[in-house]
Structure 1
Amino acid sequence: MGRHANIAIFVPHLGCPRQCSFCQQRTITGQQEAPGPQDVLAAAETAAGSLSDCSGAEIAFFGGSFTAIDRGYMLSLLEAAKRAVERYGFKGVRCSTRPDAIDSEVLDILQAHRVTAVELGAQSMDDGVLLVNRRGHTAEDTRKAAGLIRRAGLELGLQMMTGLYTSTEEKDLETAREFLKLLPATVRVYPTIVLPGTELCRLYEAGEYRPQELGEAVELCAELLEMFEGAGVRVIRMGLHPGEELERRRVAGPYHQAFRQLVESRLFLDKLRAQLKEPGEYRVRVNPRDISTALGQGRENPRRLSELGYSVTFIQDETVKRGGFAPVDQQGEK
């Protein structure tokens, strides 16, 4: 199968029955107009022309509550996507939607149009957090929808947000633990960003909401990444997609263009520190493709280690497995 790629089609804020506390879809996607069938076909044609092998690519409907939009409009997009899948040999179609917009009838429609994966914007598994953030669904809605998706034989994806209004680190960790019980194939993790014109922005400006600091979000997401990957769940996104409009209009919150790299570097540091003995000089071998993760942005990891009394030299070694490091050697020892 070819390399995985998403042919992303954004359906901004269509189908959502309410305005969540954090939501300003147009800022997130940078897109104002709703796509039509011809847009789907055009995006597919462009992608097919740039891919040497289309078998790993998926047409992905993101940005709104796809299965809650007008049924005729949804079908027109799905029919165009199905034609594109059959024409170019794409893997299939994936979509994201609300947990309360999934039932057996909807799943029958999706399956008939080559949909292979459904992602649920669960955001939290704490009913109190869901309520005050105006989500309009419950944790039980997520459990029921997840079960229906898996029983239909579709790949289940779950999306969560950290640092929501009234949430805590422990509540976010509990959301992750509840996610694992639902056996998802994939997860996306989005730290909460304050955007203008949202209820969250009003709460922030009134001093009633404190967003996560970047360091707090990185530390928590490193723990979440280890939890999910340790359970065999692919974390396919961590942090919002970077974009000029998002960077320009963001009011507050832990946004960084390379958020995932920050998280992976922090997780690497945590694992390495657990292996180090007493302070001193060490040699650590890593795969060359992991050297930037080992060092961290601005060589953050060596600096942090130095503050703790460790002088670490990273040695690039092709034989070391990606994502890890070789046994730590303390310099001066044989």
Structure 2
Amino acid sequence: MDPEQPVEVAFFHGGLPCKALLGATEHRAVRIACLPGDLEPALLENLLQHRVETIEIDVGTHQTAHRRSVGRRRSSSALAALVRGLRDRGVRVGVVLTPGLPGTGHADALADAAWVAELAAVDFVRLQPALAWESTLSAQWVADGRWTPMTIAEAITTVEGMMDLLDASGVDVARVGLQPGADLAGTVSAGPVHPNLRSLVEYRRFRRRMRSVLALVPRRRAVELRVHPADLSWAKGQGNANIRSLRAELRLTGLSVRPDGDVARGAVVLGGKGSDPFR
């Protein structure tokens, strides 16, 4: 390990670390993922004394009635106060949202994303569509017909809308989806499990943006679009599916997408540098 490289110590999925573990971090920056109920005032003060710079809060949903139905105690207003209080203390705040929880739907998920945006105190979000885990109450609810988790198609539509709202407010979406094995031990019995759910969402988002840019392009032309290099695979789509579908839909004689480091992440620009965009 490069001694000059900054090191961040992270604690996930195990509640708050004890004083001994925090002391062992030797004044390195610390990241913690926890439930809202873990952050009692005295415990929070101890965390801040040990250079805890980033706290990810597993909110699930901010809506009080839905939170109570899945055993979460804090109300929406209490959550907002917690998040703003952390930001006021100089903490980098992350929030985990879980669309598709029992009793919730697409509109509820969008309301959760809008709530995060309106707080103006969240640095990043993880979007983790709800899953039913084997041998848990969630799996029993599915078996009893009390809850039907989202399909992959439904998850794509819902996450797409949430990401649009969060992007517009400048909140970074750090990750989409939760992978059993890689993230947590256990077996999923129902729900939208996919090895790369984010890519499925981004393929659709870029296809929509590309269609909008191409809307005024004359038909029967060959067109070039530019995107940031990190967005190239999402813009093209799996197996160039976005290019093929848009070329056919818009009756273009050709459509290419090129990487350009001067283009902002998430943007689609018409035409090559210094050239006629139509050929």
Q: Does 1:284 align with 2:186?
A: no
Compute the displacement of 1:309 (Å): 4.3
- Other-structure match for 2:99: 162
1:122 to 59, 81, 85: 59
Provide closer, same or farther for how the CA distance between residues 102 and 317 of structure 1 changes in structure 2, counting only shifts above 3 A: closer
Q: Does 1:54 align with 2:8?
A: no
Q: Which moved more, 1:266-275 or 1:314-323?
A: 314-323
Q: CA RMSD in A?
A: 2.8
- Other-structure match for 1:314: 256
Distance 2:160 2:131 in 1: 18
Q: How does 1:28-67 map to 2 (within 5 A)?
A: 49=1, 53-55=4-6, 57-66=7-16
Q: Give the partner amino acid of 2:238.
A: Q
Instruction: Kindly indicate whether the alpha-carbon contact (under 8 Å) linking 2:213 and 2:268 is maintained by their aligned counterparts in 1.
Output: no
Deviations 1:256-315 (A, max 9, x none): 111222222221112122223276654323344432111223433235435644556223
Aligned residues: 270
- Other-structure match for 2:155: 217
Instruction: Kindly indicate whether the alpha-carbon contact (under 8 Å) linking 1:95 and 1:117 is maintained by their aligned counterparts in 2.
Output: yes
- Other-structure match for 1:42: none
Deviations 1:202-238 (A, max 9, x none): 1212223221111221122122222212212122121
Q: How does 1:7-156 map to 2 (within 5 A)?
A: 49=1, 53-55=4-6, 57-66=7-16, 74-81=18-25, 83=26, 85=28, 92-156=29-93
Compute the displacement of 1:248 (Å): 8.1
Instruction: Kindly indicate whether the alpha-carbon contact (under 8 Å) linking 1:103 and 1:145 is maintained by their aligned counterparts in 2.
Output: no
Compute the displacement of 1:84 (Å): 6.2
- Other-structure match for 2:173: 235
Q: TM-score, normalised by structure 2?
A: 0.84
Distance 2:198 2:105 in 1: 21
Provide closer, same or farther for how the CA distance between residues 252 and 265 of structure 1 changes in structure 2, counting only shifts above 3 A: same
Larger helix fraction of residues: 1
- Unmatched tracts of structure 1, length 5 or more: 1-48, 67-72, 86-91
Instruction: Kindly indicate whether the alpha-carbon contact (under 8 Å) linking 1:276 and 1:328 is maintained by their aligned counterparts in 2.
Output: no
Instruction: Kindly indicate whether the alpha-carbon contact (under 8 Å) linking 1:295 and 1:301 is maintained by their aligned counterparts in 2.
Output: yes
Q: Give the partner amino acid of 2:175.
A: R
Q: TM-score, normalised by structure 1?
A: 0.72
Compute the displacement of 1:130 (Å): 1.0
Distance 1:257 1:191 in 2: 13
Q: Give the partner amino acid of 1:79.
A: G
Q: Give the partner amino acid of 2:266.
A: G
Q: Does 1:185 align with 2:123?
A: yes
- Unmatched tracts of structure 2, length 5 or more: none
Q: Does 1:201 align with 2:151?
A: no
Distance 1:161 1:204 in 2: 17
Distance 2:94 2:186 in 1: 30
Distance 2:268 2:179 in 1: 29
SS of alignment partner, residue 269 of structure 2: coil
Q: Percent of aligned pairs with the same residue?
A: 26
Deviations 1:96-139 (A, max 9, x none): 22223324322221111111111211110112211222223322
SS of alignment partner, residue 54 of structure 1: coil
- Other-structure match for 1:297: 238
Provide closer, same or farther for how the CA distance between residues 242 and 248 of structure 1 changes in structure 2, counting only shifts above 3 A: closer
Instruction: Kindly indicate whether the alpha-carbon contact (under 8 Å) linking 1:320 and 1:326 is maintained by their aligned counterparts in 2.
Output: no
